[in-house]
Chains A and B, each alone.
Chain A
């Protein structure tokens, strides 16, 4: 089954304690990205990656890091989490636009609800 998995699904942590949210896809997609969802703001892109070892900032990258050492994995790293990073996080992957013409072009993970105290 084609899917994007994220772990953990729920996390409560304290300010300054480094954490990693993992993301993995089994569809051999080149493109992966991270979004955060906040009330009244919708989803906003944090970082994206076009392929292994190729990453770039999205709209709200401050306080986050990513890496793409393998095609299937795209972890999100919070080196020193702060309360304003409390949010719902989604990982997504997509094929090149030319391939999927009649379906969604983003495959979203189930979400990770993060609380930073």
Chain B
């Protein structure tokens, strides 16, 4: 069965520190997608990135970067020079498309989330 593990329940850092959020996944599928979402205190889910299983290139977007390593089944997320506005819950997720769902959409399997607190 598909599973996503975010071992860090909560992380606290001081502003401007770099922080890495870990994500380890399990799947038997050869084709899958990995996601990161941010949930600020207001509660909505904000999409950050989607990565497919055939693309292992690291991604950088401003202060955010992602490291995808199939060999270790990990998809870690790093925030450089953290800011107070980065305080949120961050979810890693894996698409779990059974054959019947593949054409029409996708179910996501989420990790438990990591609470990030950035202090000024």
Query: Interface on A for B, CB 8 Å cutoff?
Result: 29-33, 35, 40-45, 48, 50-51, 58, 88, 90, 93-98, 103-106, 108, 110-111, 113
Interface contact A90-B45, CB-CB below 8 Å: yes
Interface contact A110-B110, CB-CB below 8 Å: no
Contacts of B62 on A, CB cut-off 8 Å? Answer: none
Complex A-B: 16 CB contacts under 8 Å: A31-B104, A40-B9, A42-B4, A42-B110, A42-B111, A42-B112, A44-B110, A45-B107, A45-B108, A48-B107, A90-B45, A97-B102, A97-B106, A98-B103, A104-B47, A111-B44
Interface contact A33-B112, CB-CB below 8 Å: no
Contacts of A31 on B, CB cut-off 8 Å? Answer: 101, 104-106
Contacts of A58 on B, CB cut-off 8 Å? Answer: 107
Interface contact A51-B108, CB-CB below 8 Å: no
Q: A90-B45, A104-B50 are in contact. Are A96 and B111 (CB under 8 A)?
A: no
Contacts of A45 on B, CB cut-off 8 Å? Answer: 107-108
8 Å CB contacts to A: which residues of B88-114? 91, 93, 95, 97, 100-108, 110-113
Q: Residue B105 contacts which of A29, A88, A103, A104 (CB distance < 8 angstroms)?
A: A29
Number of interface residues of B (CB under 8 A): 27
7 nearest A-B residue pairs (beta carbon): A31-B105, A42-B110, A104-B47, A94-B105, A43-B110, A108-B45, A50-B104
Binary flags per residue of B6-22, CB closer than 8 Å to A gives 1, else 0: 10010000000000000
Q: How many inter-chain contacts with C-beta < 8 Å in the A-B complex?
A: 76
Q: Residue B112 contacts which of A40, A88, A94, A111 (CB distance < 8 angstroms)?
A: A40
| Chain A residue at minimal CB-CB distance from B4 | A42
**CB of B33 within 8 A of chain A?**
yes
Contacts of A94 on B, CB cut-off 8 Å? Answer: 105-106
Interface contact A42-B45, CB-CB below 8 Å: no
**CB of B41 within 8 A of chain A?**
no
A97 to B113, CA, bound (A): 25
Q: Residue A95 contacts which of B9, B35, B105 (CB distance < 8 angstroms)?
A: B105
Interface contact B43-A110, CB-CB below 8 Å: yes
How far does the Cβ of B74 sit from chain A's closest Cβ, in whole Å? 17
